[in-house]
Structures are given as structure tokens and as C-alpha cells.
């Protein structure tokens, strides 16, 4: 009877560990949210428990909006009682939401926000991806050394911290290689780019780099081709969703973009297992964002198990003590500032798919 009572009591007090997942599930960049969510769910299926307790995922939509990005974090913490958050995708959303996470003392781990400011001066916000000084440098090295490009028109989305930052980091490194640049501005949601493209043509650009996200990258490529541009198209990780090709069609063939992972790059044993499991579950190849979402979940679980209890402050510290973690996207070390140092992958659009082009290591961009 006593044993039975103990069992019943322990069953009743047996908790769940709640993890918030804040993503753009609707709105302008909803393709990104869907991709990350696939990776997080696969990871959760592989590791549904930590410290002997069930992990419950609470998905909250930020609607691809900055204000909602902050509200979603508040809601996850105050209403749902999550002990940690995976998110967000866009740097501007991680900046808005990260402010709230920091104030409330709950760790937020971004799979993919690459702007340096996302973690700067914060204790609770970390990421599992590289940052844009490196991504911009890799783009510049690829353009100048591998493509031989001399003049780049950079299309900057002035509403996105990611785009503004990546542009400047690209320019710094590209000028060192003797290249010339012209910045040309647009805003998230713009549909019509002929004025900007005319400027790029007048500049004599041999490449157009769009540092924003896939909806506008696809439209710029289409309209630039229509207006007679015949040079290269370049982009950063913001290009990396199948919707780029669905919207851009023929116009994005040959476009090069930097990203975090490609299933053919097979960097670690875990990458191979991840690709196999992903194909089994979803009947398609995994995207970079799925791999990053998978890694974010696994690193959070590792941090929680190291702490031995679901204490938000200790989890935040433990995330920054992760060294040489074998992830799907590579070997991940998170430094004391919450950033990861990893190699950059370059993909090219070929026959409507993303083909692996090359890898750029941190020491190549110096």
C-alpha cells in the first residue's frame, strides 16, 4: 500500500519540461518557420525526455512581425511557463524577443539569427549558427576570388537588421579585395524593383547581391533579368527556402547563396544520421533551417541534462559551456558571448534545386 501511494504521488508530481518554440509560422517569411519546426519536431521525437521528464514543445507564432516577436516571447514565458525558448529565425525578431527573454531571465537559443547584435551584451540569448561578419566575409571571398566579380550592386532591405549588417560586412571584405560596390535600398514586402535595378545597371554591376529574404530575392532576380541584367545573382542565408525557386522560377537558376548546411556536405556522423532520419520522416531532403532547428533542440537538451534541473538561469549558462558538440550542421562550440564559430556552405540553384557548391572555413576570409 505504501509503495502504491508513493507511486501515485510521484506520478502526480511528475512534471513536464516546457520548451517554447517561437517561429514565423505565418506572414512574410513563414517558409522559414515551417522548416525549423520540422527539424525541432524530429529532434523531439528522437529525444522526447530529459532528466527523466517529458519535454513538451509549445509552438508560438511571431507572424513574421517584430512586435509579435516580442509578444510571443512574453506569452511563452508568462502564460505557458516555458523554461527555455528555441527561436527566432530573423535577426530583427530575435532582437525584439531577446530583449524580453533577457529581462525575464529565460534562455533563448536561436537556430539561425546571424546578426552580431542578437547576443551582444546579453546573458540569456545564444545561437547555434555563425555570425554575419563571417558570412559577409565568405560572400565577398566567394564573389571576388571564386567568381572574379569586380562591381557589386547590393540590394539592402532597410527594415531588416540582418540585411543592413550583412551588407556592411560584405562591403568591408569585398573592398579589401579591390572590389567596388553600390548600395541600393528596398523594404520588406516591396514588389516592384525597376527603379533599383535601373541603378544597378547604370552602375555597371557584374553581380547583384540581395541581402534580404527569399520573397524579395526572387522578385529582384526575375525583374533584373527582364530588364536585361546578365551578371551573377548572389544572396546570403535569407535565400534558403524552397519558396525561392517557387517564386523565382527560371530567374533564380545559377544564383549562389551562403548558408549553414547542405545534405550532401555530410560533415559529421550525426549529419548522416540526421539526413537519413529526416528523409524517413518527411520523404524529402532536409533544409539548412531544419538542421539548425534540430541542433538547437539537441543543444538545449544537453544543457538541461548538464544542469540536472530545469533552472532557466543555469540552463542559459550551460548553453555557453557547450564545446565540440556533434550536431547535424557540424561541430558546435558556443563561446562565452553565446555565438558559434562554424564553416559557411555555398549553394547554387541548379535545375530548380539547391546544389552544394563549396565550403568556406573561418581562416579563409582573413
Q: Which residues of this chain interact with ligand PHE, rule CB under 6 A?
A: 32, 89-91, 112-115, 162, 237-238, 240, 288-289
Smallest separation (angstroms) from ligand PHE to the CB of 79: 26
Residue number, 41 or 113, with CB nearest to ligand PHE: 113
Phi, psi torsion values for 315, nearest 5 degrees: -65, -45
Place of cell 540553384: 349
Residue number, 114 or 196, with CB nearest to ligand PHE: 114
Residue number, 206 or 347, with CB nearest to ligand PHE: 347
Smallest separation (angstroms) from ligand PHE to the CB of 243: 11
Contacts of 218 (CB under 8 A, 6+ apart): 243, 244, 245, 247, 248, 251, 252
Smallest separation (angstroms) from ligand PHE to the CB of 133: 13
Smallest separation (angstroms) from ligand PHE to the CB of 17: 26
Three-class DSSP labels, the chain:
CHHHHHHHHHHHHCCEEEEEEEECCCCCCHHHHHHHHHHHHHHHHHCCEECCEEEEEEEEECCCCHHHHHHHHHHHHHCCCCCEEECCCCHHHHHHHHHHHHHHCCCEEECCCCCHHHCCCCCCEEECCCCHHHHHHHHHHHHHHHCCCCEEEEEEECCCHHHHHHHHHHHHHHHHCCCEEEEEEECCCCCCCHHHHHHHHHHCCCEEEECCCHHHHHHHHHHHHHCCCCCEEEECHHHCCCHHHHHHHHHHCCCEEEECCCCCCCCCHHHHHHHHHHHHHHCCCCCHHHHHHHHHHHHHHHHHHHHCCCCHHHHHHHHCCCCCEECCCCEECECCCCCECCCEEEEEEECCEEEEEEEECHHHCC
Strands 232-235 and 256-259: parallel
Residue number, 107 or 238, with CB nearest to ligand PHE: 238
Residue number, 71 or 112, with CB nearest to ligand PHE: 112
Residue number, 112 or 188, with CB nearest to ligand PHE: 112
Of 234, 17, 262, 14, whose CA–CA distance to 143 is shortest? 234
Residue number, 226 or 355, with CB nearest to ligand PHE: 355
Of 274, 288, 304, whose CA–CA distance to 342 is shortest? 288
Residue number, 92 or 144, with CB nearest to ligand PHE: 92
Smallest separation (angstroms) from ligand PHE to the CB of 345: 11
Residue number, 30 or 112, with CB nearest to ligand PHE: 112
Residue number, 112 or 343, with CB nearest to ligand PHE: 112
Amino acid at each position: 500500500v505504501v509503495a502504491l501511494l508513493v507511486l501515485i504521488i510521484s506520478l502526480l508530481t511528475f512534471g513536464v519540461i516546457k520548451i517554447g518554440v517561437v517561429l514565423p509560422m505565418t506572414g512574410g517569411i513563414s517558409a522559414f518557420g515551417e522548416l525549423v519546426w520540422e527539424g525541432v519536431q524530429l529532434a523531439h521525437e528522437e529525444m522526447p525526455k530529459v532528466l527523466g521528464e517529458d519535454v513538451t514543445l509549445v509552438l508560438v507564432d511571431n507572424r513574421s512581425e517584430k512586435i509579435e516577436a516580442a509578444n510571443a516571447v512574453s506569452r511563452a514565458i508568462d502564460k505557458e511557463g516555458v523554461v527555455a525558448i528555441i527561436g527566432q529565425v530573423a535577426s530583427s525578431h530575435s532582437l525584439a524577443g531577446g530583449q524580453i527573454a533577457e529581462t525575464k531571465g529565460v534562455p533563448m537559443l536561436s537556430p539561425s539569427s546571424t546578426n552580431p547584435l542578437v547576443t551582444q551584451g546579453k546573458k540569456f540569448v545564444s545561437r547555434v549558427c555563425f555570425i554575419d561578419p563571417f558570412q559577409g566575409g565568405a560572400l565577398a571571398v566567394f564573389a571576388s576570388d571564386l567568381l572574379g566579380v569586380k562591381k557589386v550592386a547590393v540590394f539592402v532591405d532597410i527594415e531588416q537588421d540582418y540585411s543592413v549588417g550583412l551588407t556592411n560586412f560584405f562591403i568591408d571584405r569585398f573592398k579589401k579585395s579591390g572590389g567596388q560596390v553600390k548600395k541600393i535600398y528596398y523594404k520588406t514586402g516591396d514588389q516592384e524593383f525597376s527603379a533599383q535595378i535601373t541603378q544597378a545597371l547604370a552602375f555597371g554591376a557584374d553581380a547583384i547581391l540581395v541581402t534580404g529574404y527569399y520573397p524579395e530575392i526572387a522578385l529582384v532576380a526575375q525583374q533584373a533579368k527582364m530588364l536585361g541584367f546578365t551578371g551573377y545573382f548572389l544572396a546570403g542565408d535569407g535565400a534558403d527556402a524552397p519558396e525561392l525557386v517557387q517564386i523565382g522560377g527560371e530567374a533564380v537558376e545559377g544564383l549562389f547563396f551562403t548558408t549553414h548546411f547542405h545534405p550532401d556536405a555530410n560533415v559529421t556522423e550525426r549529419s548522416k544520421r540526421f539526413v537519413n532520419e529526416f528523409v524517413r520522416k518527411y520523404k524529402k531532403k532536409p533544409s539548412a533551417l531544419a538542421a539548425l532547428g534540430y541542433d538547437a533542440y539537441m543543444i538545449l537538451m544537453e544543457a538541461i541534462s548538464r544542469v540536472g534541473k530545469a533552472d532557466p538561469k543555469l540552463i542559459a549558462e550551460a548553453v555557453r559551456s557547450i564545446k565540440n558538440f556533434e550536431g547535424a550542421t557540424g561541430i558546435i562550440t558556443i563561446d562565452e558571448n553565446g555565438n558559434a564559430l562554424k564553416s559557411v556552405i555555398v549553394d547554387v540553384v541548379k535545375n530548380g534545386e539547391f546544389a552544394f557548391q563549396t565550403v568556406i572555413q573561418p581562416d579563409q576570409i582573413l
